[in-house]
A and B are shown apart, each in its own frame.
Chain A
Amino acid sequence: MSEAAADLMGLFRDEARQRLDQMDTELLAIESGDADAESVGSLFRHAHTIKGGAGMLGFDDIRALAHAAEDVLAQVRETGVFPPDLAAPLLRATAALRAMVSGSPEPIGGLLSDLAASRAAFAGEGDPGENEPERASPPETASPQQTGSPPGPPVPSAPAAQSRAPGPQSPARDSTAGADRVLRVPAEKLDDLLDVTAEIMEYRSRLTHALGQERLLSQDVSDTLGAGGRLLGELRDMAFSMRLLPISAITGPLPRAVRDLARAAGKEVEFVISGADTELDRVILESLSEPLTHLLRNAIVHGIETPADRERASKPARGRVELRAVPRGSMVEIVISDDGRGVSTEAIEAAGREESLAGLLTKPGYSTAREVTDLAGRGVGLDAVKAYVNALGGNLSIWSQPGHGMDVVLLLPLGLALTQVLLFERGGEVYGVPLTAVEEVVMVAKTFTLQGQHALEVRGRSLPVTDVAAILGMAAPPLADASPAIVVSAGGRRAIATCDALLGAGEVVVKPLGPVLADLADYIGAAVLGDGRIALLVATATLTRRVPPATGATEPEPAPDMATAPKILVVEDSFSVRELQRSILETAGYPIVTARDGRDALATLDRDSQIALVVTDIEMPELDGIELTRAIRASAARSSLPVVIVTSHGSDDDRRRGIDAGADAYMTKDSFDQQTLLATVERLVGR
């Protein structure tokens, strides 16, 4: 398999998994009766898109199963009725699809016949006019034309339904939409990149240090070193940020897991995830799934009561479990919260009044003891979670009110921070500053004073000079006449900080200072040095904050020359198909703009008069490809704009619909090949 094909496979897998996660979310909502009117339409589109991608890449089983699911959903969409017992076979289908997408073959024969049976069972009763009350029971899933009117053609949901605000548990409509261009890179390569970057920075810092002491710095050398150093700093920041991923990267399977756990335990549970876009280091994120699942299991099995018990306690029969992520500076707070029975009053008493519950419930060997499990109902395995959190340099705390539920709070560091720092001494203590912010080190012998502010000329520019002791507010003996100083650059500001001695650069593990010092923004953490001393790591913004912001905005980049090749608009809601078409057309030399549905495409056309051709899918949310084609033909300014339809609808009927709408060419994804696409495009734009 070529590298490009492997990349596409990867893109397809990532996208299919996301869509399957969203399908699960929608199916679970339907099953529990609180789906919104959009659910069926979006389920259909997800199945349809997976089918299309699988067809293009030759995954026949995936294509067949997605197709079967799509057929069932098409029928649901037409009749406007979603029998709740249809969710179960569809959930089995999404589970099998997920396994196949991940590369493990699944027998699909049984599932195909299940789905066909569901479809047949409900084809005979499809007329909405004959609905019995119980089959019409989830009215939320019904389309607006349900009552009275005959079933119409499959149309994306009515505008009235779209205006309904999504609930907090609704996933983003299309979570792939925000990412415009994405490359897949093995995570190890990013780690290597960060390591190598850190190493280069260390050499650079040694070099600067040595050159500075030898006083060999000519203007040219120091300018070059300075520029290179700043770029290195940017490189390191970029490498670090590439390791950050949103929590949503691991929460996808959780709604399903919660549903399965709740069913097995005979509980009714509403599961809500908030703050899913909060970012965490990939390494931490990867290790977080297991503790989270464990805490969710505890909340469902031990926390949430049975519906009968809840009603006796005057609570809604359905319990609520929430997973909440909140950024807290250099930490991230993750809370698993439930409204179940909480700990018993005996547990609270056993711990002493207002004792830290985390302390009681995580005592090794104590938490698993029967009496505590009975008292608290929640101790099982919490000590392991606490050990995990502590090992990352975080904190675990637990809050509970008997009868009213429990909050388990994990405070985790944003990243497993190995950081390059320049260490220095002032007042007998060691401090560090991130090397990314250090431009160079100089000796300060003579400073000028302007309006009471000491300044020093560095490379022809006058920079303010401040004693580190004054910046941090520490008591320290005065500096020697000639002191080493660090030229710091952060957030567009530069400043010079003087100290007693420089100790050199090194890589340190940044340890969080914890809750007691959380309100002190001057430090990003501490590091324990080889000799046991603790270095406080000073935030770069602190070292530069007395400096007024630099003036003189950079000139905007000149606009690139307008490409001479005709510009093509690719309209496609599937991220992987869109990227495939983009790469084919871009490689052939066409400038590309993309849109993810018909409405988006019309807006893009309004903005960009250079677009010379449109390549569009048919099945899309908001406005489909047929409607888009009609809209283009109906517009005076663009009525002659060439339109190519590329879709997985392969029947003659579909083709006729496309051509009738005014498309210039029609290609199916199953027979898709890039030479045909390029030849068609070339023919239409005459290149």
Chain B
Amino acid sequence: MSSYVRVKVAAEAYAMPVEHVLEAAGLGRVRAVPGARRELLGIRTLRGQILPVVDLARLLGVHRTSAPTRLLVAEARGFRVGFAIDEVNGIGDLGDLAELGETGELGMPAEGIESGLLAGATLSDGELVGVLNVPRVFDSLDGTRR
């Protein structure tokens, strides 16, 4: 019954449970933060507050050849993060997720699986889609936990 927002990150497809997604927008003006982790693209303002912008490709270890242009704003663990992506491909249901153990054989990016950032993967519309484990992703970004 869960719906997912499907996005494109470089050449790969990922999905995030829709209840975490607040909005999608253009990337906007992102200001770099020297000294921050490399997956943090920088910060921007969103409705008067400071929003950290994370490059999802770098977080997941996806090779990228061009700069991201879109922003997916999500909330979990009590805070918000903007994810820099390339495209939003709509909202929809996904088929059954493959077991985590099988995803390696399906050729999923190893980094995401080892770090637990993916809840699983599935074949949908002829495409392999990685499903983000949103709480884990947010935990990995939470500086108070390091």
Which residues in chain A, 337-366, are within 8 Å of chain B measured between CB atoms? 351-352, 354-356, 358-359
**A519 surroundings in chain B (CB, below 8 A):** 143-144, 146
B50 CB-CB contact with A under 8 Å: yes
Please state if B75 and A356 are interface contacts (CB–CB under 8 Å).
yes
Task: Let me know if A514 and B79 touch, CB within 8 A.
Answer: yes
Known pairs A397-B78, A516-B40; A429 contacts B32 (CB<8 A): yes
Which residues 1-53 in B have Cβ within 8 Å of A in the complex?
2, 17, 19-20, 29, 31-36, 40, 43-45, 48-50, 52
- Contact check, A517 vs B143: say whether CB atoms are below 8 A apart: yes
Within 8 A of B (CB), among A75-129: none
CB neighbours of A533 from chain B (8 A):
29, 31
Contacts of A536 in B (CB 8 A): 31, 33
Q: Scan residues 105-138 of chain B and give those whose CB is less than 8 A from a CB of chain A.
A: 134-135
Find A396's partner among B34, B78, B134, B141 (CB 8 Å cutoff): B78
Known: A516-B40, A519-B143, A519-B144. A397 touches B77 (CB 8 A): yes
B21 to chain A, nearest CB (A): 11
Q: Which of A156-164, A221-229, A521-529, A570-578 contacts B (4 or more CB under 8 A)?
A: A521-529
**Which chain A residue shows the least CB distance to B138?**
A356
Q: Which residues of B contact A514 (CB under 8 A)?
A: 50, 52, 79-80
Closest to B81 in A: A516
| A395 and B79 contacting across the interface, CB-CB below 8 Å | yes
Would B36 and A520 count as touching, CB distance under 8 A?
Answer: yes
| Contact call A516/B54, Cβ cutoff below 8 A | yes
A473 within 8 A of B: yes
Chain A interface extent, by class:
35 or more
Closest Cβ of chain B to A329, distance in Å, is 9
Query: Once the chains bind, are A526 and B50 in contact (CB under 8 Å)?
Result: yes
Task: Answer yes or no: B93 CB below 8 A from chain A CBs.
Answer: no
The complex places the Cα of A636 from the Cα of B40 at a distance, in Å, of 74
- B141 and A516: CB pair below 8 A? yes
Whether the pair A515, B142 counts as a contact (CB closer than 8 A) is yes
Give the residue name and chain of the B residue nearest to A525 (CB).
Answer: B50
* Shortest Cβ distance from B2 into A: residue: A352
A199 vs chain B, min Cβ distance (A): 25
B45 touches A356 (CB 8 A): no
B78 touches A395 (CB 8 A): yes
CB of B76 within 8 Å of the partner chain: yes
**Are the CB atoms of B144 and A534 closer together than 8 Å?**
no
Which residue of A354, A511, A517 is within 8 Å of B36 (Cβ)?
Answer: A517
Asked whether A265 is an interface residue with its Cβ less than 8 Å from the other chain, the reply is no
Q: Contacts A354-B135, A355-B20, A526-B43; is A516 near B31 (CB within 8 Å)? A: no
How far is A356 from B29 in the complex, measured between Cα atoms in Å? 28
Which of A359, A516, A517, A519 has the most chain B CB atoms closer than 10 A to its own CB? A516
Asked whether A190 is an interface residue with its Cβ less than 8 Å from the other chain, the reply is no
Q: For B33, list chain A residues within 8 Å (CB).
A: 513, 517, 520, 523, 536
Let me know if A518 is at the binding interface, CB within 8 A. Answer: yes
Instruction: Say yes or no for A409: interface residue by CB 8 A criterion.
Output: yes
Contacts of B146 in A (CB 8 A): 519
For the complex, what is the distance from the CA of A398 to the CA of B77, rounded to whole Å?
8
Given A396-B78, A520-B36, A534-B45: A513 touches B52 (CB 8 Å cut-off): yes
Cβ–Cβ contact B76 & A516, under 8 A: no
> Which residues of chain B are near A390, meaning CB under 8 Å?
49
> Once the chains bind, are B75 and A516 in contact (CB under 8 Å)?
no
Q: Which among B19, B31, B35, B77 is the interface contact of A429 at CB below 8 angstroms?
A: B31
Asked if residues B54 and A352 are in contact (CB atoms below 8 Å), the reply is no
Cα of A598 to Cα of B38 in the assembled complex, Å: 63
- A591 on the interface (CB 8 Å rule)? no
Q: Which of B17, B43, B45, B81 has the largest count of A CB atoms less than 10 A from its CB? A: B43
Q: Is A328 an interface residue (CB 8 A)?
A: yes
A397 to B80 Cα, complex, angstroms: 11
**A532: contacting residue among B40, B45, B76, B141, CB under 8 A:** B45
| A472-B76 contact in complex given A511-B49, A516-B142, A519-B144, C-beta closer than 8 Å | no
| Chain B nearest CB, measured from A192 CB (Å) | 27
A538 → B minimal CB distance (Å): 10
Indicate whether A403 reaches chain B with its CB closer than 8 angstroms: no
Contacting residue for B79 out of A355, A473, A515, A523, CB 8 A: A515
In the complex, the answer to whether A517 meets B34 with C-beta atoms within 8 Å is no
**Distance A522 CA – B37 CA, assembled complex (angstroms):** 13
B19 contact from A351, A473, A532, Cβ within 8 A: A351
19 A-B pairs (CB sep. < 8 Å): A328-B144, A352-B2, A355-B19, A355-B20, A359-B19, A472-B35, A474-B34, A474-B35, A512-B50, A513-B52, A515-B142, A515-B143, A518-B142, A519-B143, A519-B144, A520-B33, A523-B33, A526-B50, A532-B45
Kindly list the 4 A-B residue pairs having the minimum CB-CB distance in the complex, ordered from nearest.
A397-B78, A518-B143, A474-B34, A519-B143
Knowing that A351-B19, A356-B77, A533-B31 touch, tell me 19 more A-B residue pairs with CB under 8 angstroms.
Answer: A352-B19, A354-B134, A355-B135, A356-B78, A358-B78, A397-B77, A409-B78, A513-B33, A515-B77, A515-B78, A515-B144, A516-B52, A516-B54, A516-B79, A516-B81, A517-B43, A518-B143, A520-B33, A534-B44
